[in-house]
Amino acid sequence: MNMKKWSTIGLATSMALVAAGCGKSTPAETTKPAASVAPTTAASAAPTAAASTKLTGDFEIQYFVGGYGDKWWKKVIADFQAKNPDLKIKESAGPKINEQMKPRWIAGNPPDFVYIDGPELFDRQMVTDGQLEDLTDWIKDAKNVDGEKIIDLLSQKPQQFDGKTYNIPFVMSSWGIFYDKALFKDKGWAEPKDFEEFLAVSEKIKGAGIIPFIHTGKFPYYINGGVLLPAIVSANNNDYKLLQDMSTNNLEAWKNPAIIKGLNKIVQMRDKGYIDKASVQINHTDSQSLFLQHKDAFIPNGLWLPNEMAKDVPGSFDFGFIPSITQDKGGKVVANTSTATFGIAKKAKNKEAAKAFMQFVFSQTQASQWAELSGAPSNVKGDISSSKAPNFVKDAAKFLASPDTVVVPTVSFAADVDKAMQDATVALTIGTITPEQWVTRVSEVVAKQKK
């Protein structure tokens, strides 16, 4: 979902290949010992500060297996195990692992290290509930296995919770709007540069018998991340601090008229008949399938979409990517970034191993391996780009490195507030509530959070 802007170099080089952080997943067992895989030469570099202490005991890692797959996890855990043979590593992983592990977190018996991604895990809620270790002082000077300060390597710095750091972003992505360049070229349609052009081309698309826009009604954070939040930033004179204030449950922020202005962009799309009515009841893969079949021309999504649907993409399909379509004529593009992060449980039993693993993964080697094995951009600066990078990656890199783009750092809302926003947006798309009622419904939930 960069308030700390991406570094131009880090952005352009880290956006090598892109994949999914949610959706289709490769099933994995809930818990299992680390696989035995020989480390690569790069991963077996000379000993460094992070490897100076002999690690022993049990060490448990929880990670969600979604569109990114688990190849990188298998490899990095095997590499870490090879360097620490006396450590007993257990993987708790799978597409439903967050739900399965929830009772343990509640009972105060969590794993040591956690990958915060996928359903059922909300970093802000975990911080509120006191589940994550305070890494504020540690991350200031922590070095990776190559002796480099981790904080200096990050394209997007960690999100602050009341001025403190609890989780470190490793995966980088951006919300936006996808379309098929090949289809648009064939039909003579131009990529929209602003909302006025979006409405104009949508009218042509509708006239050709194709529905202009589809979204994932069962998971409305797609339309919120790709349409609503950028629209609010645009309406707030390109100042994303409003989103930050909203995320801290500042009730005054929720009264800002920019929110209504942003919501009205969705209302215009709805009233012109541009939103596929099937959206309200379908999930991400179903909406993506309809998009790939040209039943719909635009879809809000994250940069993981092409890899997530790789098996279903027609050969002639050429993904185009636009971070936002809700800016007014002449306005800047707004890229709402999203990250997946790593954290250490406050009640971890082996914090020493957890911190050592954190130092191990935040290296150029592991960032490169992440790009190769997951097909996703890393938050670690460095040259991991590929000359064969797909067009949509080049499009995203061009937008995100441009001075004409407002790059919004990842913003996370309290779980109840986020759910209220999602539900209200779905209601708005089908016309059962007004923008004002949207604000009222969500503000009521925000007010409860303040008590």
Residue 410, pLDDT score? 86
Residue 304, pLDDT score? 82
Structure tokens at 121: 């895990």
Residue 375, pLDDT score? 66
Closest C-alpha among 56, 59, 112, 50 to residue 86: 56
Mean pLDDT (10-residue bins), the chain, 451 residues: 34 41 39 40 38 86 90 96 98 97 97 94 93 98 97 90 95 91 98 98 98 97 97 98 96 97 98 98 96 98 86 94 96 92 98 98 88 76 53 75 88 92 98 98 93 67
Closest C-alpha among 93, 67, 95 to residue 284: 67
Residue 325, pLDDT score? 97
| Contacting residues for 152 by C-beta, under 8 A, at least 6 apart | none
Q: For residue 60, which phi and psi values (nearest 5 degrees)?
A: -110, 135
Topology classification of domain 174-337+407-450: D-Maltodextrin-Binding Protein; domain 2 (3.40.190)
Instruction: Indicate if 174-337+407-450 has the same CATH topology as 8-173+338-396.
Output: yes
Domain ranges of the chain: 8-173+338-396, 174-337+407-450
Q: The domain 8-173+338-396 belongs to what CATH superfamily?
A: Periplasmic binding protein-like II (3.40.190.10)
- d(CA 235, CA 241) in angstroms, rounded, equals 12
